[in-house]
Amino acid sequence: MGKTIIISNRLPVQLQISNGTINAIPSVGGLATGMKSVHSGSESLWIGWSGLTDEETPPELEDDIDKALAKNGCAKVKLNAGEIDGFYFGFSNRTVWPLFHYFLEYSEFELDFWNTYKAVNQKFADAIIEKSDEDDTIWVHDYQLMLVPQMVREKRPDTTIGFFLHIPFPSYEIFRTLPWREEILEGLLGSDLIGFHTYDYERHFLSSVRRLLGLDVSFNEIYLDNRVIKVDSFPMGIDYKKFKDAAILHSSKSEGERSDLQMRLDSHKASAPDTKLILSIDRLDYSKGIAKRINAFEYFLNKYPEYKEKVRLIILAVPSRSNVPQYQLLKKEIDELVGRINGELSTVNWTPIWYFYRSLPFDNLIDLYTSSDIAWLTPLRDGMNLVAKEYIATRTDKTGVLILSEMAGSAYEMNEALLINPNNFEEQADTLKRALNMPVEEQISRNEFLQNRLERYNVEVWAKEFMRALNEKRDVSKAFISEKMSKDILNNIETEYSKSKKRLLFLDYDGTLVGFHKDPQKASPDEELYELLDELQNQENTTLFLISGRDKQTFGRWFLPKKYNMIVEHGVWISKEGHEFKMLEQVKGEWMAKIRPVLESFVDRTPGSFIEEKNYSLAWHYRNTDPDFGEKRATELNTVLRSLIGNDDISVLNGNKVMEIKSSNVNKGRAATRMMSEDDYDFVFAIGDDWTDEFMFQELPESAITVKVGLKKTHARYHVENTRRVRELLTRFAKP
Ligand code: GDG
C-alpha cells in the first residue's frame, strides 16, 4: 500500500521567520490532532498553503522553508496575494461560506472569484499529482478545495480519493442558486468517498446530485460511468483526552500557578458567590449568531429582571477573515451592541457582558471552560461546532449546562444538552432560566451520557473511521457480485468464442446496445450498430437474438428488414430470420383494462411520466420526472399494484426508471432458456443492463457468459461500464 496524502487549504504548521531563520511550529487544532494517526512517519504527506504569500516569502528562504516543512511531513503549495484574495477571501469566503450556511443574501457570485478558485484548485491538484503515486490514498479537506478530487482523478483514474466537508451542505433549494453548481458537484464526484458531519448534509448532497446531474443514486451510493461513489456521515469528534487532562491539571494548580485570567475569574466568584457565568466562544462569524445571542441575553434580562447582577455573559470572539466586508460590519455591530447593553444595564458592582475580541492561549480557554456554569452556543448554522464538545470534556466533576443551537451539526449527537432554536428569544430566555436552576444531579446525569459518547467517538476514531471506509472503497468491485471485465478475461472469452462450434448470443437493447433517450422512440439504432449486428449475424455458427421489453411494432420496424432474430415484450413474441412475429408464450391480457386507469392516475399526478402500452404488458416510465419525486411515486405505485394484483398471474418489474406490469409466466430468462434448448450450443452469451435481464443471468446455466452493463448488484458473472464498452466487446466477437 502507498502513502497517505492529506490536502487542506492550510498546513498544520505555522511558519515563523525571525532573524532570517525559519521555524515551523506544529498547530494544535482539532484537525491536526485528529489526523495524527493518519499523518505520521514517512508514509504520509500533508499538502497545503503555508500561510505566507509569495510576496511575504523571502526568495532566499524558499529552500529552508521546504526543509522545515518536510521535517513535519508537509509540503507547500505556493500562492500569491492575488490568488489568496480571489480563492480564499473571494470564492471560498464570500461565495461558498455564506451560501452553504444559508446566508444567501451575503453570497457574491463573481466570475473573477470563480476563475481564481478554479486556478488555485488546479495548483493543489498539480501538487498532489507531482508528489504522489498511483497507489497512494488521498484525503482532501473542506470547501476551499471542492474541485480537487476530479482534477486529480483526470490524471490518476485509479487513485483512491476521499473528501470531507467540514461545513454544512445546504439543501438543494439553496445550492441550486450557485451559478457553478454542476462544476462543484462534478469536482466532488472525483472522490471515491465523500464525508459529511451529519446525515442531513449527506441527504442534501445526494438530492442535488440527482436533481442537477440526473445521476442514479441508490441509498448512499452514486453511480457515475464506471465508478460508484460512496457518501456517508462521519461526525467529527475532539481530542477528548487533551481537554480532560488539561482540566484535571487546571484543578490541581496552586494559587501561584494560576493565570491572570483565572485569578480574575476567581476574584469575581469570591466577590459574588451566587453569580453564575455564562460562556460563549466562537470565531467572529455571522454564522455563529453572536449578535442575536447578545440581543437574546438582553431579552432574558428584561423578561427575568431578578437575574440582573446574578449572571454574567463572557463572550470570546476570535478574530477571523477580517478582510471580508461582512466580517468588518459584524465586528462593528457587536462592538456597538455590547457597548450599548453594558452602558444601559451595568451597575457599580456588575457588568453584564465581558467581551474579548482576540484569540486566547489554550490554557486560558481551559480557564474559561472550567469556570463557567453554562456554555451558551447559538450558531444560526454550524457544520459541527467543536466548542460544545470541548466544554463538556472539561467538566471533570460532570457539572455544567450546555445550551446548544439545533442548527449546529453537534446537536444531532448531543441530545442531552438543552437544544434551542437561536431565532426564538422566548425559548432562549426560558432555557437560560432553566439552565441557571438545573439541579446538580440532573446536570451530572446529562453530562455523563455526553462525556461517554465524546470520549468514545473522539477525533482519532473519526479520522480512522473515515480512512477505514475509504480503504474499503479501494477495491470497488468487491462491492459487487460481478467481476469487472478485465483485458485478460476479455481475451479468454474471445478465445472461447473463436474455438466454439455453435454460439448463441442474447443482446438486450436499451441501456446495452444504445444509451437511454428521454423519448424511447428516439433511441433508434445507428449505422455503426447495424454494421456490428450485421457482422455478427453473418458469422457462421452464430445465432444472435435481440432480447428486449420493447413492443413488436417498434422492433419490427427497426430490425425485421435486417432479419435479426428478436424476442420482444420480455418473451411474449419471437421473430426469426425476418419472419413475422409469433407468440412464444400464451398470455392473457384481460387484466390490462383494470390496471390501465391506475397507471393513468399516476401519470396525471406525476409530471413527466407516461404509459407505454404493449400487446401484453403496460409500462409506466418515469425517467423524465423529478428524480426524488419519481422514486416516491414508483414506491407508491408498487404498493398500490401489489394490493390490486394479489395473484401470481401478473407481476411487476422494476426496471431502470420504468415499472412494467406483465403476465408472470413471461420473462427473458424463460425465453432465453427455451431458445437454448433448441440446439446444442457450446457458447452462450447474454448481456443486459437492467432488472429484467437478471432473469437471463439467473436462469441460463452457469457455463453461460453473462455480463451486466453498469455497476449495480447483479447475478451476472462480469460487468462492463457502459454501452461504449458493450460495443467494443461485441466488435471483438465480430472481428476476431
Ligand atoms: C469549522 C466549522 C466544524 C476558539 N477560540 C480559541 C480557540 N478556539 C478553538 C476551539 C475549537 C475551534 O477553535 C473552533 O471550532 P468550531 O468547530 O467551533 O468552529 P469553526 O472554526 O467554524 O470550524 C465547524 C469545524 O470546522 C470542524 O469540522 O465543527 O462547524 O465551521 O477547537 O477550541 N483556540 C484557542 N484560542 C482561542 O481563543 N487556542
Between 217-231, 290-304, 491-505, the lowest mean confidence (pLDDT) is in: 217-231
3-state helix, strand and coil shares in percent for the chain, rounded to the nearest 5: 50, 20, 30
Question: Nearest residue CA, atom 19 of ligand 1?
Answer: 385
235 Cα–ligand 1 center, Å: 15
**Choice from 242, 387, 405, 406 to test ligand 1 binding pocket (greatest atom count within 8 A of CB):** 387
Please give the pLDDT value at position 431. 98
| CB of residue 384 inside a 6 A radius of ligand 1 | yes
Between 87-91, 126-130, 467-471, 508-512, the lowest mean confidence (pLDDT) is in: 467-471
Please give the pLDDT value at position 389. 97
> What are 503's strand-pairing partners?
542, 683
Question: Nearest residue CA, atom 27 of ligand 1?
Answer: 166
- Residue that wins the pLDDT comparison between 675 and 271: 675
Q: What percent of the chain has pLDDT over 70?
A: 97
Report which residue type is found at 497: Y
Please give the pLDDT value at position 37. 72
CATH top class, domain 4-233:
alpha beta
Give the chain's end-to-end CA distance (angstroms, integer). Answer: 38
The Cα 574–Cα 582 span in angstroms is: 5
CATH top class, domain 595-662:
alpha beta
**Choice from 283, 287, 457 to test ligand 1 binding pocket (greatest atom count within 8 A of CB):** 283
301 Cα–ligand 1 center, Å: 28
CA 166 to ligand 1: nearest atom: 28
For residue 593, the SS3 value is helix
Average pLDDT over residues 203-212: 93
Rounded to the nearest 10°, the torsion over CA 222, 224, 229, 233 is: -40
DSSP state of 569: G
471 Cα–ligand 1 center, Å: 28
Please give the pLDDT value at position 478. 45
CA-nearest of 97, 37, 1, 85 to 471 is: 1
pLDDT tens track for 162-180: 999 999 999 999 999 999 9
**Choice from 281, 290, 363, 405 to test ligand 1 binding pocket (greatest atom count within 8 A of CB):** 281
Please give the pLDDT value at position 343. 96
Q: Which long-range contacts (CB under 8 A, 24 or more apart) does 709-714 make?
A: 709/508, 709/511, 709/512, 710/223, 710/511, 711/223, 711/226, 711/227, 711/228, 711/476, 711/480, 712/218, 712/223, 712/480, 713/480, 713/481, 714/480, 714/481, 714/482
Quick one: pLDDT band at residue 30, thresholds 50, 70, 90?
low
Catalytic residue among 382, 508, 510, 689: 508
| CB of residue 385 inside a 6 A radius of ligand 1 | yes
| CB of residue 382 inside a 6 A radius of ligand 1 | yes
Please give the pLDDT value at position 502. 96
Residue 192 has pLDDT above 80, yes or no: yes
| CB of residue 166 inside a 6 A radius of ligand 1 | yes
Task: At 213, list the grid cell.
Answer: 446531474
pLDDT tens track for 277-289: 999 999 999 999 9
Q: Are strands 276-283 and 311-318 parallel, antiparallel or unpaired?
A: parallel
Please give the pLDDT value at position 480. 55
Taking the domain 481-585+666-734, which CATH number applies? Answer: 3.40.50.1000
- Taking CA atoms, 467 is separated from 5, 6, 140, 183, in Å, by 11, 11, 12, 26
Please give the pLDDT value at position 49. 95
Between 35-44, 116-125, 213-222, 387-396, the lowest mean confidence (pLDDT) is in: 35-44
Q: What percent of the chain has pLDDT over 90?
A: 75
Average pLDDT over residues 678-693: 94
- Max Cα–Cα distance, the chain, nearest Å: 105
Average pLDDT over residues 504-511: 97
Residue 652 has pLDDT above 90, yes or no: no
Q: How far is CA 54 from the centre of its chain?
A: 34
Average pLDDT over residues 60-69: 92
- Where, residue-wise, is CATH 3.40.50.1000 in the chain? 481-585+666-734
CA 360 to ligand 1: nearest atom: 38
| CB of residue 27 inside a 6 A radius of ligand 1 | no
pLDDT tens track for 407-447: 999 999 999 999 999 999 999 999 999 999 999 999 999 99
| CB of residue 598 inside a 6 A radius of ligand 1 | no
For residue 172, the SS3 value is helix
- Residue that wins the pLDDT comparison between 292 and 268: 292
Residue 626 has pLDDT above 50, yes or no: yes
Question: Mind spelling out the 3-state secondary structure of 374-411?
Answer: EEEECCCCECCCHHHHHHHHCCCCCCCEEEEECCEHHH
| CB of residue 167 inside a 6 A radius of ligand 1 | yes
Residue 314 has pLDDT above 50, yes or no: yes
Residue 704 has pLDDT above 80, yes or no: yes
The Cα 595–Cα 609 span in angstroms is: 16
508 is annotated as an active-site residue: yes
51 Cα–ligand 1 center, Å: 18
Q: Decide: 330 and 284 in contact? Cβ < 8 Å.
A: yes
- Residue that wins the pLDDT comparison between 36 and 70: 70
CA 379 to ligand 1: nearest atom: 30
Quick one: pLDDT band at residue 227, thresholds 50, 70, 90?
confident
Residue 476 has pLDDT above 60, yes or no: no
Question: Mind spelling out the 3-state secondary structure of 222-239?
Answer: EEECCEEEEEEECCCCCC
For residue 278, the SS3 value is strand
- Taking CA atoms, 294 is separated from 263, 290, 326, 333, in Å, by 25, 6, 18, 11
- Where, residue-wise, is CATH 3.40.50.2000 in the chain? 4-233, 240-456
- Residue that wins the pLDDT comparison between 648 and 582: 582
| CB of residue 666 inside a 6 A radius of ligand 1 | no
Question: Nearest residue CA, atom 34 of ligand 1?
Answer: 362
What are the φ and ψ backbone dihedral angles of 375, each rounded to 5 degrees? -105, 130
Q: Decide: 375 and 438 in contact? Cβ < 8 Å.
A: no
The Cα 268–Cα 271 span in angstroms is: 5
Quick one: pLDDT band at residue 73, thresholds 50, 70, 90?
very high
Residue 327 has pLDDT above 80, yes or no: yes
Mean pLDDT for all residues in the chain: 92
Residue 528 has pLDDT above 90, yes or no: yes
Question: Nearest residue CA, atom 6 of ligand 1?
Answer: 359
Residue with grid cell 501538487, as numbered in its chain: 127
Task: At 549, list the grid cell.
Answer: 421489453
| CB of residue 40 inside a 6 A radius of ligand 1 | no
Question: Nearest residue CA, atom 26 of ligand 1?
Answer: 166
| CB of residue 524 inside a 6 A radius of ligand 1 | no
Q: Decide: 220 and 231 in contact? Cβ < 8 Å.
A: yes
Task: At 374, list the grid cell.
Answer: 453554562
The model carries a pTM of 0.79
Q: Are strands 311-318 and 353-357 parallel, antiparallel or unpaired?
A: parallel
CA 410 to ligand 1: nearest atom: 29
| CB of residue 360 inside a 6 A radius of ligand 1 | yes
Taking the domain 240-456, which CATH number applies? Answer: 3.40.50.2000
| CB of residue 454 inside a 6 A radius of ligand 1 | no
Residue 31 has pLDDT above 80, yes or no: no
Quick one: pLDDT band at residue 477, thresholds 50, 70, 90?
very low
Please give the pLDDT value at position 475. 57
CA 30 to ligand 1: nearest atom: 32
288 Cα–ligand 1 center, Å: 11
181 Cα–ligand 1 center, Å: 27
366 Cα–ligand 1 center, Å: 14
Q: Are strands 617-621 and 658-663 parallel, antiparallel or unpaired?
A: antiparallel
